[in-house]
Amino acid sequence: MTTQQLTHQIKTKKSFLCIGLDVDLDKIPNYLLNEEDPIFAFNKAIIDATHHLAVAYKPNTAFYEAYGLKGWKSLEKTIHYLNKNYPELYTIADAKRGDIGNTSKMYAKAFLEDLGFDSVTVAPYMGKDSVEPFLSFQDKHAILLALTSNQGAFDFQTLNVNNQELYKQVLETSKTWDNAENLMYVVGATKAEYLKEIRKIVPESFLLVPGVGAQGGSLKEVCKYGMTKNVGLLINSSRGIIYASKEQDFAQAAAIKAEELQQQMEAILTHAS
């Protein structure tokens, strides 16, 4: 999917919500455990109940890899279900990959070609040759970790190296790589005050922003500093939406939480226009 198509969807739906599909079998309704594929049954119900409120879905692959081959199968069924039934939705494999070039090429093939995701999250610290293989797919994106939402972001990402914080060097340098137009960046909602500086370096790039809801980030603050004229933001919420209820009504409860966020986004977009 192109960023123009993504922007069109955002403007039509008045939403820049990304729903995180981080499925933990201990947190889903017990009755679903009798299904042949409980993870897929859960995801399908969540997607069907929320697709009109969101523009993107982000399964974090850790939650699938943790269940071995069965989990990987559930991931495959989930992305195929999204692509077949809701092709307008943007999909993100939150896999945080990146390795030497020939290995990255295989990761890129796995997520962008075989599974058919629109994008994959990538760690930048092995440098240009570890990221470029993800950038050679037309209308697909690598979402580079820039400034993450966790406390550990301060261990390395904000350190001064040669008079510039490391995350700023990640942004500046990655802009010069081949096919850099296929880059997006992860910036945690808990780091909203950094967005002003980030926008000076990447004024137009899409940012994937996790950390609202369960991690305490503020949607308003993120939009204040990070929103562009084309919006340029995908705000992710995972636990805050998908675990709104552990009962039979879990999908409807998720839709209520998603709608709360979508309504706040609509108000922000209306105010900005």
| Interacting residues with ligand LLZGTKA7 (CB under 6 A) | 20, 22, 60, 94, 148-149, 186, 188, 210-211, 213-215, 236-240
Q: Which is nearer to ligand LLZGTKA7, 11 or 260 (CB)?
A: 260
Nearest distance in Å: CB 229, ligand LLZGTKA7: 25
- Distances, alpha carbon 242 to alpha carbons 69, 93, 120, 256, in Å: 23, 17, 21, 10
- Using CA atoms in the order 41, 42, 43, 49, what is the torsion angle rounded to 10 degrees? 100
The answer to whether 116 and 83 are in contact (CB under 8 A) is: yes
Q: Which is nearer to ligand LLZGTKA7, 45 or 209 (CB)?
A: 209
Q: How far is CA 234 from the centre of its chain?
A: 7
- Give the count of alpha carbons within 13 A of 192, CB side only: 18
Residues annotated as part of the active site: 96
**Total count of residues recorded for the chain:** 273
Using N-to-C axis directions, what is the helix angle for 38-50 and 68-85, rounded to 10°?
A: 30
Nearest distance in Å: CB 173, ligand LLZGTKA7: 19
Nearest distance in Å: CB 188, ligand LLZGTKA7: 4
Q: Which residue has the tokens 């969807």?
A: 9
Q: Which is nearer to ligand LLZGTKA7, 22 or 132 (CB)?
A: 22
Nearest distance in Å: CB 256, ligand LLZGTKA7: 16
CA 77, 78, 79, 82 torsion: positive or negative?
A: positive
Q: Residue 262: which H helix or E strand, with range?
A: helix 250-272
Q: Which is nearer to ligand LLZGTKA7, 27 or 80 (CB)?
A: 27
